[in-house]
Structure 1
């Protein structure tokens, strides 16, 4: 199962890279992921975490799509990324080190948000049932 997901994730990264003119970068990232294809879930997860932390189009594309989740005006945009980025997100999310759900965690990373996006998050924060997140996965 893991080799199949790893391959789908690699292909999705390449497809997203081609779409924005970053094919070479995408192929390099995909190659790095494929190197761990048969290494087991822990090694694949470490590689996904590493790839996500690199200064690349991958984290920017992923974060951009995730910020749109729940936004009815941009629903088609983020849903269009599920096929290409979903396998990578699944591999990244499936942390083999932590068996218990962590309730109080915060992940910070620089992000450029428009005034409208900031205002939208401030509005969502008022409603405890609809808290958004800046996390990608």
Structure 2
């Protein structure tokens, strides 16, 4: 499994989210950026469990992705973030990411992985990027794929 291809696929999938009227389109990068245009999704750190199946048959990677929104006022940023963190709907990151699983029997993320699952949301808090504070949260995404490539 090529990690950068998976990271790129996750960022591409996140861009499919529909933002509420009057809110800028979600930007996304496959890496932790130096600066952002909020709202922004990025794929941060990850851990790999090698050899989940013998002879490099399967690796399991948990990506910690983050989404940040503007802190324009106390309530509006939280409403936008809550919509992105919903479990379903056009504005749900979980739904957008899991749509990239492909149809039954297809590979996920355009062929970059076997499958993926958005496992949980965590760390709903303020994040500082390039000296600017944003409201954000993390999504943990488990991706499985061929360990020999």
The answer to which structure has the higher strand fraction is: 2
The answer to which structure has the higher helix fraction is: 1
Structure 1 length normalisation: TM-score? 0.32
